[in-house]
Amino acid sequence: MNLNLLTAHELSESLRSAKITSAHILSDLKDRFDKVEPKVRAYARQPFFKKSSSRNSVDAQLNGIPVSIKDNICSDGDLTECASRILSGFVAPYDATVVKKLKEQGALIFGKTNMDEFAFGSSCENSSFYPTRNPWDLERVPGGSSGGSAAAVAADEAILALGSDTGGSIRQPAALCGVVGLKPTYGRVSRYGLIAFASSLDQIGPMTKDVRDNALLLKVIAGHDKNDATSVDIPVPDYVRSLEKGVRGMRVGIPKEYFVEGMDPEVRQALNDAKAKLESFGVQFGEVSLPHTEYAVAVYYIIATAEASSNLARFDGVQYGFRASHKSVEKEPALISMYKQTRAEGFGQEAKRRIILGTYVLSSGYYDAYYSRALKVRALIKEDFDKVLGEFDLILTPTSPSPAFKIGEKTDDPLSMYLSDIYTISVNLAGLPALSMPCGFTKSGLPIGMQILGKPFAEEDIFRLAFAYEQNTLWHKMKPKL
Amino acid sequence: MEYEPVIGLEVHVQLKTKTKAFCGCANEFGSKENSNICPVCLGLPGSLPVLNSQVLVSAAKVALALNGTIRNFIKFDRKNYFYPDLPKNFQISQFDMPLSEHGYMDIKVDGQAKRIAIKRVHLEEDAGKLIHPEGTACSLVDFNRAGTPLLEIVSEPDLHSPEDAYVYLSDLKLALQYIGVSDCDMEKGSLRCDANISVRPVGQIKLGTKAELKNMNSFKAVRTALEFEFKRQVKSLEAGERIVQETRLWDEKKEATFSMRSKEEAHDYRYFPEPDLPPFTFTDADIKGIRKSLPELPKERLGRFVASFGFGEKDAAVLISDKELADFFEACLKIYNEPKKIANWLIGPVLSHLKSNLSFEALHLSPENLTKIISLVEDGTVSNLAGKSILAEVVETGKPPDTIVREKNLGQVSDVDELKKIIEEVAAVNMRSVDDYAAGKENALMFLVGQVMRKSGGKANPKIARDLLAERLKKT
């Protein structure tokens, strides 16, 4: 059997009993990469096929397991370019905390995956390298912005992957590619070394072939970090051990605002089927209301772009990355010309659009009307969730209103692209954990995802429900024909 | 028409914490370029700031010493602007909720007491430093300073003369040095000062249009720049011109201010709350604890010196005007309990040595050495004059006073037999004065003492010599 098809928990067992070595895994991954990568283009650049673990201990939780990480997560000595021209040639001089933790547990940093530039997008079409394609239909997008990680896992070019999620960037591509993706509670995983998009929304999370791997990977990367003041000092539970605790009596809310007209009928049907299945395990469902849902996209695009405009200011051609070979402009100081030309040539269209939006909403005279108000509505959105999660353990929703769309279908219509995150954005605004997992396929063979939301730091509950569902379905075993 | 200046000062003080404000890099001046740097203070992609809590404590101490309020809820904001010395192209600062407000400092100018209100005290991070190597078209950046904690202290426009500003700055610096949170060395840039100045006819309440003065490198420069700017603005007004609101740079060589003529002033900094730093909470107990930890401040020490040692306010003011000097005084006092004598030595000879040296530290003088010299003089071992030359030698070489006395044979002759011999010799050649004294001319005695001193090469103990002479003369 090709080892690249296996999960980390399966491989770990074989590694421990010395039936295989991590070199075998790497070699099988290479064969797969050579075969499918030219079609899928999940990686930002060539992965490392010859790597050995810095640690070699049996009790290391990911000993010898290759992990693919999104191109916005720094790893010491490796190119980390956020799929942006402006960071071309940037070699991170340090490990992100998640990378440090992975290495401590014996994992191999296998390669960096493609993404929308600076995580701005829902389709991976905004990469300055090339668009990644959906392994289930190469004419379609894998979702974004962690589309490379999702596609790599779905195409069995990766064992485990990390993505980052600011408004759905882990969950939406997980849904579109038929893999499991978790956005942890804000503060659960250190952001140190994650190249920031929107600091108050960003979280790194695991993207995997099944729920058990997801729990395993979260356990390794989670925890308080003294280098990230927004990480929270709450003990990390053993997510894997609590998977099998069962779901009988769990209360799950279904928000009526999420099942609106225009929603893809096949997505609606898949969700209804999943609900019926879970009911048969003794899960209790109830309709709930999240009344401020309709403002989430607007609030998100104010707060996220405001923070992004400031976070991306440092890309100016001075210290690192791309600098335009600038021409002097009459009556303009050379420094100003350098800034302007570097940023004009270095950023892609969507990055520029968001920087301009964010700069606008923070400008004096507009701050109160936009940013300040958005913060207030953000608090209301969080209150909506607090209320519902006071009565229910979890919330179940679709992950995306439709399955994977065609490449080029939404590139000229940013607003319709923004709306593809309509079900995932509120979760980031509220700082909650949420997981997307496959719950069916369309007639044309595209994966459909469902989203399970939980209380802050209650990833265990989410995993329990997800695991119970997965144990009784076969969606996660389906493989795309490539 | 008579005009008065209205002046407000913005002072930036670097806090001398061990590490920088938001990372673990050493906070030191004078290291090799770009040696105290890390991903955080370089603003590298993915790095995050974490607040050094010592910074908050130091800042709170200053705020409390300046009689200001302390906020329980501390948050930071981003101030966005592009400049190559600012690695993130935003500065972590405090905007709408400064650490402290409503403070004040009482100063005395020409004997007149004035209360200067302090509008706000807030924390921010310093930027790096641009270096422009001569003969090249490029600029270099040294990021050692980037992320150094800075305290901005903004006064209300309560200063009404360049001298007011000078005294305010001197007193502020002294207070900061007493608290021990900053070196306040303008030459090293650990204290920087910008001044806002406008003029108005005396008696008018409405404020005139202000100019902001930058680039002053000493307190004296602040005073001179304000004097220049006051005259310039008055002259403009008298010529019927209008004052333009602008930033002006002080040119030390030309002793004049010049307009920056820059459009950069129309900055929109787009302040918003720093999302990477969760708000910090100061409890009332925290604040109480910090207040308790405040050391004695200059004004309190002055009061104590006047009350406990009976010093005049002028002498006490000299002693407390430098924390090291005042500390040295108190250290001497522990060894040798003669406050006035120590004070006289410090304010006189020691201070004159201090002036020719860079700092107290550079003198090889310890409280032990100084009190030893004083006691040598007081117990008559050496003369007052010899004492001063011992001090000079100690300052120069650091040798113990005893050694110097021995080596230079500075000991006074107090031996009665030896002195009597000298007295006999002097009496023999000054018979006339001996007779004069016998005839009741008291002055003659002083003349004869002087002769004894001369004969002994200045080493005779004058008091013993006088007594012995008087005794000897009675006999005749």
pLDDT, mean over chain A: 95
What pLDDT does A113 receive? Answer: 98
Q: Which two tokens stand for residue B58?
A: 């130091």
Q: Which domain holds residue B388?
A: 296-408
Chain B residues with CB-CB distance to A90 below 8 A:
45
Q: Which two tokens stand for residue A334?
A: 């050379």
What pLDDT does A56 receive? Answer: 61
Strands A108-113 and A160-165: unpaired
Percent of chain A whose predicted confidence (pLDDT) is above 70: 99
Interface mutation target, options A70, A201, A362, A367, chain B, most CBs of B under 10 Å: A362
Nearest CB to A339: which of B43, B82, B278?
Answer: B82
What pLDDT does B274 receive? Answer: 98
Spatial distance between the Cα atoms of B84 and A334, rounded to a whole number of angstroms = 12
Q: Are residues B140 and B97 in the same domain?
A: yes
Q: How do residues A144-168 score in pLDDT, each as one tens digit?
A: 999 999 999 999 999 999 999 999 9
State the nearest Cα–Cα gap between B51 and chain A, in angstroms: 8
Q: Give the mean model confidence (pLDDT) for residues B8-17.
A: 97
Spatial distance between the Cα atoms of A141 and A408, rounded to a whole number of angstroms = 9
State the nearest Cα–Cα gap between A310 and chain B, in angstroms: 7
Nearest CB to B46: which of A195, A359, A367?
Answer: A195
Q: Within a domain: residue B291?
A: no
Instruction: Please list the residues that pair with B8 across neighbouring strands.
Output: B196
Q: Which residue does chain B place closest to A314, by CA atoms? A: B88
Residue A105: how many other CB atoms lie within 10 Å: 22
- CB distance from A186 to chain B under 8 Å? no
Q: Within a domain: residue B290?
A: no
Q: Which residue does chain A place closest to B262, by CA atoms? A: A333
DSSP E strands in B81-190: the ranges are: 90-93, 100-109, 112-125, 129-131, 140-142, 149-155
Q: Give the mean model confidence (pLDDT) for residues B99-122.
A: 96
Residues 141-170 of B with CB under 8 A from A: 141
Q: For residue B112, is pLDDT > 60?
A: yes
Spatial distance between the Cα atoms of B246 and B249, rounded to a whole number of angstroms = 10
- Tell if the CB–CB gap between B276 and A230 is shorter than 8 Å: yes
Q: For residue A294, is pLDDT > 80?
A: yes
Q: Are residues B378 and B442 in the same domain?
A: no
Chain A residues with CB-CB distance to B146 below 8 A:
none
Chain B residues with CB-CB distance to A318 below 8 A:
84, 87, 141
Q: Are residues B12 and B139 in the same domain?
A: yes
What pLDDT does A193 receive? Answer: 98
Q: For residue B265, is pLDDT > 60?
A: no
Q: Give the mean model confidence (pLDDT) for residues A433-456.
A: 98
Question: Confidence band (pLDDT; 50, 70, 90) for B10?
Answer: very high
Spatial distance between the Cα atoms of A345 and A322, rounded to a whole number of angstroms = 9
Q: For residue A52, is pLDDT > 80?
A: no
- Tell if the CB–CB gap between B45 and A318 is shorter than 8 Å: no
Which of the listed residues B408, B433, B465 is the one where a domain comes to its end? B408
Q: Are residues B145 and B274 in the same domain?
A: yes
State which of A83-87, A414-418, B382-386 shows the largest mean pLDDT: A83-87
Question: Confidence band (pLDDT; 50, 70, 90) for A2?
Answer: very high
Among A332-346, B12-26, B403-417, the range scoring the smallest mean pLDDT is: B403-417
Among A16-30, B187-201, B356-370, the range scoring the smallest mean pLDDT is: B356-370
State the nearest Cα–Cα gap between B18 and chain A, in angstroms: 18
Q: Which residue does chain B place closest to A367, by CA atoms? A: B270
Q: For residue B357, is pLDDT > 70?
A: no
- CB distance from B21 to chain A under 8 Å? no
- Tell if the CB–CB gap between B89 and A319 is shorter than 8 Å: no
Q: Within a domain: residue B227?
A: yes
Chain B residues with CB-CB distance to A229 below 8 A:
48-51, 276-278
- CB distance from B86 to chain A under 8 Å? no
Q: How far, CA to CA in Å, does A368 sit from each of A347, A355, B226, B269?
A: 28, 18, 38, 15
Q: Are residues B77 and B182 in the same domain?
A: yes
A-B CB pairs within 8 A amount to 98
Count the domains in chain B: 3
Q: Are residues B271 and B202 in the same domain?
A: yes
Q: For residue B122, is pLDDT > 80?
A: yes
- Tell if the CB–CB gap between A310 and B50 is shorter than 8 Å: no
* Whether the bond into A402 is cis, omega within 30 of 0: no
What pLDDT does A53 receive? Answer: 65
Q: Give the mean model confidence (pLDDT) for residues B459-474.
A: 81
Q: Is A275 a catalytic residue?
A: no
Nearest CB to A313: which of B49, B51, B89?
Answer: B89
Whether the complex's predicted ipTM is more than 0.85 is answered with: yes
H or E element at residue A67: strand A66-70
Chain A residues with CB-CB distance to B41 below 8 A:
none
Residue of A169, A400, A420, A426 marked active site: A169
Chain A residues with CB-CB distance to B46 below 8 A:
72-74, 80, 92, 94, 96, 192-196
Chain B residues with CB-CB distance to A199 below 8 A:
275-276
Vertex B241: Cα angle to B235 and B242 (nearest 5) = 110
Q: Is B372 helix (H, G, I), strand (E, B) or coil?
A: helix
Chain B residues with CB-CB distance to A335 below 8 A:
84
- Tell if the CB–CB gap between A307 and B46 is shorter than 8 Å: no
What pLDDT does A83 receive? Answer: 98
Q: Are residues B228 and B86 in the same domain?
A: yes
Crossing angle, helix A8-16 and helix A211-221, to 10 degrees?
80
What pLDDT does A160 receive? Answer: 98
Q: Is B124 helix (H, G, I), strand (E, B) or coil?
A: strand
Vertex B185: Cα angle to B180 and B189 (nearest 5) = 120
Q: For residue A315, is pLDDT > 80?
A: yes
Q: Are residues B124 and B60 in the same domain?
A: yes
Nearest CB to B80: which of A198, A313, A319?
Answer: A313
Q: Give the mean model confidence (pLDDT) for residues B442-470.
A: 82
Chain A residues with CB-CB distance to B270 below 8 A:
309-310, 359, 362-364, 367
Q: For residue A57, is pLDDT > 80?
A: no
Q: Are residues B420 and B372 in the same domain?
A: no
- Tell if the CB–CB gap between B45 and A359 is shorter than 8 Å: no
Buried b (16+ CB within 10 A) or exposed e, B299-336: bebbeebbeebebeeebbebbbebbebbebbbebbeeb
Strands A251-255 and A284-288: parallel
Q: Is the dihedral of CA B319, B324, B330, B331 positive or negative?
A: negative
- CB distance from A69 to chain B under 8 Å? no
What pLDDT does B405 receive? Answer: 80
Q: Is A145 a catalytic residue?
A: yes
Looking up tokens 């009988």 gives A248
What pLDDT does A340 receive? Answer: 95
Q: What is the DSSP letter of A368?
A: I
Q: How do residues A361-403 score in pLDDT, each as one tens digit?
A: 999 999 999 999 999 999 999 999 999 999 999 999 999 999 9
Chain B residues with CB-CB distance to A363 below 8 A:
268, 270
Q: Are residues B245 and B186 in the same domain?
A: yes
- CB distance from A362 to chain B under 8 Å? yes
What pLDDT does B89 receive? Answer: 98
Question: Confidence band (pLDDT; 50, 70, 90) for A55?
Answer: low
Spatial distance between the Cα atoms of B420 and B452, rounded to a whole number of angstroms = 10
Q: Are residues B380 and B334 in the same domain?
A: yes
State the nearest Cα–Cα gap between B168 and chain A, in angstroms: 34
What pLDDT does A58 receive? Answer: 66
What pLDDT does B36 receive? Answer: 97
Q: How do residues B308-318 score in pLDDT, each as one tens digit?
A: 998 988 899 99
Task: Please indicate whether residue B363 or residue A380 has the higher confidence score (pLDDT).
Answer: A380
Which of the listed residues B285, B316, B335 is the one where a domain comes to its end? B285
- CB distance from B20 to chain A under 8 Å? no
Chain A residues with CB-CB distance to B42 below 8 A:
319
Q: How do residues B393-450 score in pLDDT, each as one tens digit?
A: 888 888 888 888 877 777 777 677 888 888 888 888 888 888 888 888 888 888 888 8
Residue of A22, A53, A70, A309 marked active site: A70
Strands A66-70 and B149-155: unpaired
- CB distance from A285 to chain B under 8 Å? no
Q: Which residue does chain A place closest to B82, by CA atoms? A: A313
- Tell if the CB–CB gap between A320 and B44 is shorter than 8 Å: yes
For B15-18, which contacts have Cβ atoms below 8 Å and span 24 or more sequence positions?
A: B15/B55, B15/B58, B15/B59, B15/B148, B15/B149, B15/B150, B15/B151, B15/B181, B15/B182, B16/B181, B16/B182, B16/B183, B16/B190, B17/B52, B17/B54, B17/B55, B17/B58, B17/B149, B18/B54
Spatial distance between the Cα atoms of A466 and A470, rounded to a whole number of angstroms = 6
Q: Give the mean model confidence (pLDDT) for residues B441-460.
A: 82
- Tell if the CB–CB gap between B45 and A229 is shorter than 8 Å: no
Which of the listed residues B253, B285, B317 is the one where a domain comes to its end? B285
CATH number of the structural domain spanning residue B462: 1.10.10.410
Q: Is A70 a catalytic residue?
A: yes
What pLDDT does B69 receive? Answer: 97
Q: Give the mean model confidence (pLDDT) for residues A431-438.
A: 98
Q: For residue A29, is pLDDT > 90?
A: yes
Q: How do residues A92-143 score in pLDDT, each as one tens digit?
A: 999 999 999 999 999 999 999 999 999 999 999 999 999 999 999 999 999 9
State the nearest Cα–Cα gap between A115 and chain B, in angstroms: 16
Q: Are residues B153 and B181 in the same domain?
A: yes
Domains and CATH numbers, chain A: 3-244 (3.90.1300.10)
- Tell if the CB–CB gap between A313 and B84 is shorter than 8 Å: no
Q: Which residue does chain A place closest to B92, by CA atoms? A: A310
